[in-house]
Every structure is written in C-alpha cells, then in structure tokens.
Amino acid sequence: MEGNILKMKTELQDVVQYHLPIGDELVHMNPLVGKDISLKFNGKINCIATGEEINKTYGQGYSYKAFRSLARCDMCLVKPETCHYWDGTCREPEWGEKHCMIPHYIYLSVSSGLKVGITRETNLPYRWMDQGAVQALPILKVKDRYTSGLVEVELSKSYADKTNWRKMLKGDVSEVDLHSVQEEIYESFGNILDDFEAEDLEEEIVEINYPVDSVPEKISSLSFDKTPVVEGRLTGIKGQYLIFENGVLNIRKHNGYQIGLDI
C-alpha cells in the first residue's frame, strides 16, 4: 500500500480501534500490533489542504501559503482566547462560523496526568483518543470556542493544560477521581463560570484503553525527515503514535507524506 498519509482515525471501543489513511486505503492497524512492519517515505509531500507538492510542512501538513491563509492554522486555534472574529479579521469567516461559533466543551482528562482541555462538541471522544487520555470527563458546555478559551485560561491557573507525550506513552499515571475535581472546580470557580454562562454537565467518566503490548524503556522520537524507513516490530499504538521497539512515530506530524507500508 502506498499514498499520502493522514492522522489515524479512531473508534472508541473496549480497546481503541485505529485506522491509518494511506492514499485511498484505510488500513486497520490494531491487527498489526505484534508484527513486523515497514513504513517507507518516498521523498514526496503534498499539502493536505491544496494537494500541491511541497518540500516542508507547516502546522502538521500544510504548505506555507495555506498555513498563512487558512483559519484552521491561525494562532487562535491554539489560543482560542485570542479569537479576532468580531474584529472582522478572521481569515475564513464561514469556516469560523462552522467550527468556532458552535458549542464547545471544557473537559478533564488523564493522559500524562490530570489536565483541563477544550474541544468542540463534534470532536468528542476523538480528541481524548488523539491525546492518549486514559480517563476523560466533560464538565462544562459554553456557547463558542472563544468562551471556552477564556474558561480554560482561568482553570489553567490551577490545573495543567498540556500533555507530556513521553509520560503519556509510558502510561505510568495514577487514576484520578474526576468527579471530585469537577466539584472542586464548581466550588472554586463558580462566579467566573456564571459570568461565562457555562452550563454544568453531569456525565459519566470515560475510561479508554489502547492496543499497547510494550513501550521502550527509553522513548526516542522517529521521523521520516531523518530516517526515510521506519521499520521493526510494532508493539503498540497510543494517541497518534505508532510504538516500535526502537522508538515512536508521530503519525499526525507526518500528515501529507507519501508512504509505502509493507507488512
């Protein structure tokens, strides 16, 4: 199989199911855990927005021109509290209306530890699986992405909002009583949450399991830019990482790369 790859598609089941888009194919990756595979980069990269051939990607798969012009690549996607839609300077107002001016959730999750995060309502539970979370709980709902960013800024003063990817892959984290943390947030930030018209949620904690047999003692990052051929025994998949005996490969980082897969 050969073609451009995109980030793996996920399905929340007893164990997360992974499918890797390669060209027009969708390869089920779970059955490959425990087998020897080879991923070969042929030197070609295509922008995932325009399809044009490029030498380097920006923002995980885009050409420089697309990275500078598309709303999905703007800084406000990383820092939603900087949204400038109402200033009339959104790069793509229609895109913003479909993806940002819709309800968003604030959630708690455990990946490398307890963290707070945000995502649009259409992106759950996929956001959690992409981050390698083993537990997750949506706790608040707000009217749009901008408001969710403002809430996250306040909560991040007391709770982490980033994931340590190496610790996440190791999986050496303790279980957290997310409902208790939820109550702590309601009590400590109640007045602020009222100002943002945040809706309290009563949801069940989602437990997530991944197809991982083993993880290297020392985790090193593999890249097609340095090693055109990544091969060996696939020992697991977590987040958007393929785990090998000699390192891990971040698939999302290589969006748009033309790859050949041999099993």
ω into 93 cis (within 30 of 0) = no
Domain ranges of the chain: 2-67+211-262, 71-207
Contact 227, 13 (CB under 8 A): no
Taking the whole predicted model, whether its pTM rises above 0.85 is answered as: yes
Q: How far apart are CA 58 and CA 65, in angstroms?
A: 9
User: Which pLDDT score, from 0 to 100, does residue 172 have?
Assistant: 87
Pairing relationship of beta strands 221-222 and 247-250 according to DSSP bridges: parallel
User: Which pLDDT score, from 0 to 100, does residue 69 have?
Assistant: 96
Specify the long-range contacts of residues 116-121, CB closer than 8 Å, at least 24 apart. Answer: 116/152, 116/155, 116/156, 116/159, 116/160, 116/161, 117/152, 117/161, 118/80, 118/145, 118/148, 118/149, 118/151, 118/152, 120/145
Q: How far apart are the first and last CA of the chain?
A: 10
Reading the block at residue 62, the tokens are 């885009």
User: Which pLDDT score, from 0 to 100, does residue 169 have?
Assistant: 97
**187: DSSP letter:** H
User: Which pLDDT score, from 0 to 100, does residue 205 have?
Assistant: 98
Q: Angle between the 178-195 and 145-155 helix axes, to the nearest 10 degrees?
A: 120
User: Which pLDDT score, from 0 to 100, does residue 18 have?
Assistant: 98
Which parts of the chain have pLDDT scores under 70? Answer: none
